[in-house]
């Protein structure tokens, strides 16, 4: 199974010291380095969305390169604590996509997502890219994905009109996409708290944690602090 990831120079430390060393499965990691379009590398600073267009392009490439096969897109601010491939294969039996839960109120986070290389996913991510490029309201790829998946947003999808979907009310998204949330063991702290994390503050970690996505915090150093905090807590429990 392929895992597609990308990084910019500001995030190389996450790749080298956290993401790649923690992988426990025999994944084929497709890792791309992009230029530093966002000078700070911080969420929604100038150039951030230009970088997110590249991320969406990588996902679209993944769909094209894995026809009817499963593949993963993963951010690099992620660390694994046990093998996940067999878990994902079981969970994806009747799904087109599984994605991390972003918050207690059910929004999604494309920081770690497994999907099938099929027309539904291709059309979904083409729509995300289209809206991201045309956006005038300061929305990012995650905002747009939530608009599509978490709201009954059929009429706003221009690509949807091209699809041959007979029952337009069968699914709560414009693409007939069978999707769901990854379990909480695919952990992001904001999924439980819905609060921004600052170094020094505490949060609970699932007993069966499989991976940790260091989000709901801003800046590479804060991400490293969160990665270290979670790793230390998990190792203490294991010992």
Tell me what pLDDT residue 77 has. Answer: 97
Structural domain total, the chain: 1
**Per-residue pLDDT tens digits for 168-187:** 333 457 788 999 999 999 99
Phi and psi dihedrals of 184, rounded to 5?
-65, -15
Q: Which domain holds residue 168?
A: 2-238
Instruction: In whole angstroms, give the CA distance from residue 26 to residue 231.
Output: 22
Tell me what pLDDT residue 28 has. Answer: 98
Tell me what pLDDT residue 40 has. Answer: 42
Tell me what pLDDT residue 151 has. Answer: 64
Tell me what pLDDT residue 176 has. Answer: 85
Is the C-alpha dihedral spanning 124, 126, 131, 132 positive or negative? positive
> In 3D, which of 140, 114, 217 has the Cα closest to residue 230?
217
CA 67 vs CA 82, 121, 237: distances in Å = 27, 11, 41
Residue 204: give its domain's CATH number.
3.90.550.10
Instruction: Extract the residue ranges of the chain whose pLDDT is less than 70.
Output: 36-49, 136, 151-172
Tell me what pLDDT residue 147 has. Answer: 84
- Residue 41 and residue 10 in contact, taking contact as beta carbons nearer than 8 Å: yes
22 token code pair? 């923690």
Tell me the pTM: 0.86
Instruction: In whole angstroms, give the CA distance from residue 216 to residue 196.
Output: 5
Tell me what pLDDT residue 157 has. Answer: 40
Tell me what pLDDT residue 47 has. Answer: 53
């Amino acid at each position: 199974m392929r895992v597609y990831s990308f990084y910019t120079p500001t995030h190389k430390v996450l790749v080298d010291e956290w993401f790649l060393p923690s992988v426990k499965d025999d994944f084929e990691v497709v890792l791309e380095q992009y230029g530093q379009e966002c000078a700070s590398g911080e969420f929604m600073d100038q150039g951030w969305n230009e970088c997110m267009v590249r991320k969406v392009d990588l996902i679209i490439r993944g769909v094209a390169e894995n026809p009817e096969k499963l593949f993963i897109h993963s951010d690099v601010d992620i660390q694994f604590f046990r093998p996940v491939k067999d878990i994902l294969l079981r969970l994806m039996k009747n799904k087109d996509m599984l994605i991390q839960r972003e918050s207690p109120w059910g929004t999604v986070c494309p920081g770690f997502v497994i999907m099938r290389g099929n027309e539904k996913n291709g059309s979904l991510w083409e729509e995300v890219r289209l809206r991201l490029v045309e956006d005038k309201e300061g929305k990012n790829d995650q905002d747009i994905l939530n608009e599509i998946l978490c709201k009954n947003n059929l009429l706003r999808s221009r690509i949807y009109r091209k699809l041959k979907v007979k029952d337009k009310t069968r699914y709560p998204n414009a693409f007939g996409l069978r999707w769901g949330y990854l379990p909480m063991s695919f952990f992001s702290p904001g999924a439980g708290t819905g609060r921004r994390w600052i170094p020094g503050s505490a949060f609970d970690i699932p007993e069966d944690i499989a991976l940790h996505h260091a989000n709901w915090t801003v800046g590479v150093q804060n991400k490293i602090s969160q990665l270290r905090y979670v790793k230390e807590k998990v190792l203490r429990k294991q010992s």
